[in-house]
Amino acid sequence: MRFARRMGRLGTETAFEVLARAKALEAQGRSICHLEIGAPDFPTPGPIVEAAKEALDAGWTKYGPANGDPELRREIAAYAGRMRGAAIDPDGVVVVPGAKPILFFTLMALVEEGDEILVPDPGFPIYASVVEMAGGKVVPYRFDERRGFALDRATLRRAKGGIFNTPHNPTGGILTREDWDAIAGLGLEWLISDEVYSEIRYGVDHVSPLALPSLRDRTILCDAFSKTWSMTGWRLGYGVMPRPLAEQVTRLQINCTSCAASFSQRAALAALRGPRPDEMVRTFRRRRDVIVEGLNAIPGIRCAEPRGAFYVFPHVGRDGTALARRLLEEAGVACVAGASFGAAGREHVRFSYAASEETIREALRRIRTLAG
């Protein structure tokens, strides 16, 4: 079989490969501290699980509308608008299986061969992967580690479109109002704002371009139930976008998945109508403090304090890919090499602190022994 040329341009998400290797080592009897995967380690809240069971019993087991259950789209418009201080048109909401399909479908709908697209470096690896598969040219922009991985505005360029992510994976940095003002001046035709970590912040505001008159008509919001409600396996996400683009994305969904799972969508109503994940965020904050302090106490490692999400991205003063490999193979600490997130991550590794404090402390002990 000869694969289509476009497959040569498609990248991957290394965290899944590390997870597979870590599981294989575990199957051989090795003890592994899992700090690689970006999934909250908490169960999905009980009322959401109950709502899914009720939906299954009530027969929500068939195809539904391709753009999503109308009641859920209205609830998403209300929730997403409330938390961002924006008015959202439910007809611009499309419900899909996770945040990733919003990235994939919108990039497929918008990127032409040779289009220059701003992409964060370091950044979620799927951005560059899908832009390149669609024939676009990745134009990287950077962050300033000394300022808690704040956006380095001097690295922004004029381009056709751009992808932004706040709070940011892998650094935990956030975008401020001033950052968005700088982005508004770039003349982008469109921008994707990936806000899957918008509820996971440590005492800082969330600023979405949807709330800014200079950007809202060009903005595609990408969000999901995955992180906020610990629902990574439910595969449920959504986009908010101008209606004409919502129609294109819906057509892509019809061609690809038909619709998101009907009973998951009913359960999502319970998520949006239930309490915010404050307790989970408090727990993440305690773990963040433990891992940042622990890493900074190891000679040769420098770790900025994240303001959101649940990752740290320490500078390790050497090739991060080799260190990540040794950490897994020799010390049993699973993490992701910084280079997986772009060239600027070469001397970094990413640890997820979506793991118990006990696991984090044990991982720190092992890292200190191997790398200190």
Residues that bind ligand PLP (CB under 6 A): 38, 98-100, 124, 165, 169, 194, 196, 224, 226, 232, 237
CB of 20 to ligand PLP, least distance (A): 16
Bin 180: left if φ > 0, else alpha if -120 < ψ < 50, else beta: alpha
Q: Who contacts 352 (Cβ-Cβ below 8 Å, separation ≥6)? A: 35, 36, 37, 38, 310, 311, 335
Rounded to whole angstroms, the Cα distance separating 237 from 321 reads: 31
Burial 17-49 (b: 16+ CB within 10 A, else e): ebbeebeeeeeeeeebbbbbbbbbbeebbeebe
- Residue 225 token pair: 């139930």
Phi, psi for 351 (deg, rounded to 5): -110, 135
What is the side-by-side strand order in the sheet with 311-312? 311-312, 349-352, 336-337
Q: How distant, in Å, are the alpha carbons of 45, 101, 151, 291 from that of 137?
A: 41, 20, 21, 36
Neighbours of 228 (CB within 10 A): 21
Judged by beta carbon, residue 180 or residue 229, the one nearer ligand PLP is: 229
CB of 61 to ligand PLP, least distance (A): 22
Q: What is the DSSP secondary structure assignment for residue 327, as one 8-state letter?
A: I
CB of 223 to ligand PLP, least distance (A): 8
Judged by beta carbon, residue 67 or residue 165, the one nearer ligand PLP is: 165
Residue nearest to ligand PLP (CB): 98
Nearest CA among 163, 143, 165 for reference residue 154: 143
CB of 300 to ligand PLP, least distance (A): 27
Judged by beta carbon, residue 99 or residue 156, the one nearer ligand PLP is: 99
Judged by beta carbon, residue 190 or residue 371, the one nearer ligand PLP is: 190
Burial 337-370 (b: 16+ CB within 10 A, else e): bbbbbbebbbbbbbbbbbbeeebbebbbebbbee
Judged by beta carbon, residue 196 or residue 212, the one nearer ligand PLP is: 196
Rounded to whole angstroms, the Cα distance separating 25 from 350 reads: 20
CB of 155 to ligand PLP, least distance (A): 19
Judged by beta carbon, residue 36 or residue 145, the one nearer ligand PLP is: 36
Q: Which residue has the tokens 């004029």?
A: 158
Judged by beta carbon, residue 298 or residue 342, the one nearer ligand PLP is: 342
CB of 237 to ligand PLP, least distance (A): 4
CB of 163 to ligand PLP, least distance (A): 10
Judged by beta carbon, residue 124 or residue 284, the one nearer ligand PLP is: 124
CB of 326 to ligand PLP, least distance (A): 24
